[in-house]
Structure 1
Amino acid sequence: MPEDIFARMTADTRNLVKLMQSQATSSSPDADLVQLARQGYRDIIPLAGAIEEVAKVENYQTSSTPAIDLRLYRPQVSVETLLPAIVYFHGGGFISGDFDK
């Protein structure tokens, strides 16, 4: 990567690029690429910042076949407080992470 571009990046972006470069050169030819991708994903999670504390985490599962895992996060606010809801549907193949990361 050209040094002038690297110098203009934020510190977090530079750290991410360095991490990606080290992973690209550290795997053996026999390495499990899915496991390497998952580990790479776990390695960049700290760049997102501190994990936000929640009051409660509830796990559910649909009654469909196959069942779909669902997770409800309840923020730390008064029960009487009306809150908006966000529903996130992941359309990918879940090869880089797992339900908890």
Structure 2
Amino acid sequence: MLLITCPWCGPREETEYHYGGQAHVPYPENPADLDDRQWAEYVFYRDNPKGPFAERWAHSTGCRRWFNVLRDTASYEILAVYRLDEPRPGLPALSDRRQTIEAEAAGGTR
């Protein structure tokens, strides 16, 4: 079970939250100009990376607020938690961290 830290309430078990999909998906500037294919892409098509991925979560049994989580989809490790009005944390440090983990897994140290 994941332990997710709500920016307002602190660490809580995953069962208190609801997953809200990919974070940082911009609403179309001119929605009336979109055809059916473009609407389908906006509504249904999302990234599915292996590695760091920004997600939206709601603390549904707590403060009921939405926030973003940067989570590694391969290891389920939560790398960062941030409010909707905060910028997404940079990934260069995460890339360095991943290289360190991979080096340690291969038997070496960095």
TM norm. shorter chain > 0.5: no
Give the alignment's TM-score, normalised by structure 1: 0.23
Answer 1 or 2: which has greater strand percent. Answer: 2
Answer 1 or 2: which has greater helix percent. Answer: 1
Larger Rg: 1
Give the alignment's TM-score, normalised by structure 2: 0.22
